[in-house]
Amino acid sequence: MDHYRQGDVLLIRVAQKSARARKVDREDGRIVLAHGEATGHAHAIESPEADLYEDFGGTRFLEVRETVQLVHEEHAVLTVEPAIYEVLRQREYTPGAHGIPVRD
């Protein structure tokens, strides 16, 4: 697949991550792609077969070496295939504004 979406998290397959991207530390042994502001839940991957990177501009990349599962307490589990993905946080459309992050 070229992209995956789970709630407000969107993964888009890219050819490579930024050469300036640095590995992001895991939280309690898991990769957290986003914390839910409303519920405290998280979009997370527990598998050691993936790593999260972030460049100096804040762009984040998920590198998946083997098939992994993206879990969240309020969404169906997603099976993510090996590839490199840009991690985006979707925003709500607000007329006349730049949009606000989707509350999950």
Q: Is pLDDT above 70 for 78?
A: yes
Residue 100 lies in a domain: no
Whether residue 101 lies inside any domain: the answer is no
Task: Answer yes or no: are the C-beta atoms of 46 and 40 closer than 8 Å.
Answer: no
Q: Kindly state whether residue 62 falls inside one of the protein's structural domains.
A: yes
Spatial contact of 43 and 7, defined as CB atoms under 8 Å apart: yes
Whether the pLDDT of residue 98 is over 80: the answer is no
pLDDT per residue as tens digits for the range 5-43: 988 899 999 999 999 999 999 999 999 999 876 667 899
CA distance linking residue 39 with residue 103, whole number of Å: 9
pTM equals 0.83
Kindly state whether residue 28 falls inside one of the protein's structural domains.
yes
Structural domains of the chain, count: 1
Domain span holding position 57: 3-92
Position 91 scores a pLDDT of 61
Query: pLDDT tens digits, residue range 43-71?
Result: 999 999 999 999 999 999 999 999 999 99
Q: Can you point out the beta strands (E) in 1-104? A: 3-6, 9-14, 22-23, 31-35, 42-45, 50-54, 60-64, 68-72, 75-80, 83-89, 91-92, 100-101
